[in-house]
Structure 1
């Protein structure tokens, strides 16, 4: 991926010179912390390994981008007999609406598939697909923004244009302000298809094959419509943005938050079994299943034990949530091949951090912050036997 990234930088440098490359790089970097932070927040309850997220971003930013640049150019030249260029002004309608969506979404989805094949234990549902697809798309969007913004900066320098009418300002507004989530949204659709295949269609072979393809197809179609809107009038672009992109984005946000809430429900439902066996206190499952209580636990741990206490509580909460998700999937017939080993590892992590973490979590539970809207108050019981 490092080699791929260097090759992409060399291609942009060739077309824009150093000023365009570094100007585009700096501007394209601005939305990256926001995008990555949003998906990290979704994944915070039972986070994937940081190496997996780094691979997803690197694949999108380096490998998928280089493949798309080369494949797009070759296919445009093959189908139209006109040589392709990285310069956006020379891209025609065929490349925008047919070639680019198919090539780019396939390249990005390949990274999500590789994560699933390499880390099946961590790819455990729809939320995994949303996070993996979103991070991959964010990486791809970053490098593509470097390309587009780099050409805009170089063009403005040659023409001596500046201010609000410059190509750099217009490109920055469209790609960074209006559409920073475009590529992540496209790839999230492919990730959702794979996540549904992993869970809902596990025992349905035809659906297990069809759902990832359906998610990839939806990503291609949405990408094609979004690209086509760039060649429409301003009214057409606004209609596509307001009537298609924004509703899809809101729907995916709702789905992601719903999947995150399901993790909390799994904590409240399954951890009492472990509390009865002595791994948790009687009040801890309700506290671990409440966002407010989890936040209060971290604050109390920092006040009592400093940064070491905070790290212990975060690790304890993460292990407990992962344990609950694992048990919930096992009860639905999933993760059977490695359930026992994974359960043992997570219980060992819980025990390792319990000394520093349990008191803060129990204190948060007794503060009355564990109530969940729409659910009856959690009952606590003393385990016997």
Structure 2
């Protein structure tokens, strides 16, 4: 655990929460003035927030009940979610604004959303996962990177869904509720938990790179960059804008046929590795040499990250 990174993580999370919340209020104020106060009602906003809580709770319940869960405490969960929900949008927006017109200048208008979305968002979210992996002592296994990526991506996903739902409510000509529910339905049905998948895959690569023993620095760097590139490519291809609606649907379908099975495979692989993991054995005194360990006579006081053991019993 790196105390400097842990402190920086909480400072950035706090800044993101305060500044992001303040900017949201300012944007809502100006949006109300620009639309003559025609913002969604509090009931519509409350319903959208309830859907966000449901999405958040379901994903947390699934991951929490799996053997992948690192049991690093509530602070770990809060820190990861805040990075995705508060810090990532705050840092990604200026990066996106400055780079959004680059594809247009190159005559690649169809890739404007791809570059403007994948480049800043995956960069910032991946940075958060990397900081988190070095900030909590209980994060020691490759699959802990996958879980950290899921949490960061989940925070970002929920905030993005709520934001788009507000826009849908404002611009729907019939009903605020209909517009809000339509956006939620499209994002949940047509591309469920995309940011969870993107950041989860990047987190898997970082976890493998950081926590795999007996590997060179070059191997670790290559492994991390490989999976971060996979996440970036998946996000980039998903956001490609086509003039033909059918071409867009075929493209997103093809991307989905790759990223969802890939993520499921990673989840199952991590699940199996976590089930095989024996964890740490806590002895009654420190082991000073290999010879001393071979002689035995230690008393097992307990385990960390493994199943129950017989306590107080001498073992070799």
Instruction: Normalising by structure 1, report the TM-score.
Output: 0.61
Output the CA distance in 2 between the equivalents of 1:179 and 1:38: 19
The answer (yes or no) to whether the contact 1:60–1:138 under 8 Å persists in 2 is yes
- Displacement, 1:8? 4.8
Residue equivalent to 1:254: 268
Q: Spell out, residue by residue over 1:65-111, the C-alpha distance to the aligned partner (whole angstroms, 9 max, x if none).
A: 12223322232256658xxxxxxxxxx74332112111101111111
Find the partner of 1:154 among 165, 170, 193. Answer: 170
Residues 1-37 of structure 1 deviation map (CA, whole Å, 9 limit, x = unaligned): 3213304523652447353755543333321101122
How many residues align structurally?
275
What residue is the counterpart of 1:116 in the other structure? 133
Q: Distance in 1 between matches of 2:208 and 2:143?
A: 10
Structure 2 regions of 5+ residues with no counterpart? Answer: 1-15, 33-38, 285-295
Aligned position for 2:239 = 227
Max radius of gyration: which structure? 1
| TM-score normalized with structure 2 length | 0.73
The equivalent residue for 1:244 is 258
Q: Does the CA-based 8 Å contact 1:187-1:219 persist in structure 2?
A: yes
Where does structure 1 lack aligned partners over 5 or more consecutive residues?
Answer: 82-91, 281-318, 325-349, 359-381
More helix by share: 1
Distance 1:78 1:238 in 2: 23
| Secondary structure, aligned partner of 1:279 | strand
In the other structure, the counterpart of 2:35 is none
Verify the 8 A CA contact 2:198 2:234 in the aligned structure 1. yes
Q: Secondary structure at the match of 2:299?
A: coil
Distance 1:196 1:10, change over 3 A: same
1:278 is matched with which residue? 299
Counterpart residue number, 1:9? 24
Three-state SS of the structure 2 residue aligned to 1:320 is strand
| Match in the other structure for 2:202 | 190
CA positional deviation for 1:383? 4.5
- Is residue 35–residue 181 contact of structure 1 (8 Å, CA) maintained in 2? no
Instruction: Return the alpha-carbon distance in structure 2 between the equivalents of residues 174 and 237 of structure 1.
Output: 16
Aligned partners of 1:59 and 1:139 also within 8 Å: yes
Distance 1:171 1:261, change over 3 A: same
Q: Which residue of the other structure, out of 144, 153, 161, is the alignment partner of 2:160? A: 144
- Mapped contact 1:193–1:216 kept (Cα < 8 A): yes
Match of 1:42, SS state, is coil
Indicate which of 69, 90, 98 corresponds to 2:115. Answer: 98
Distance 1:177 1:276 in 2: 58
Aligned residue among 176, 183, 186 for 1:171: 183
For residues 262 and 15 of structure 1, do their structure 2 counterparts lie closer, same or farther at Cα, with a shift above 3 Å needed? farther
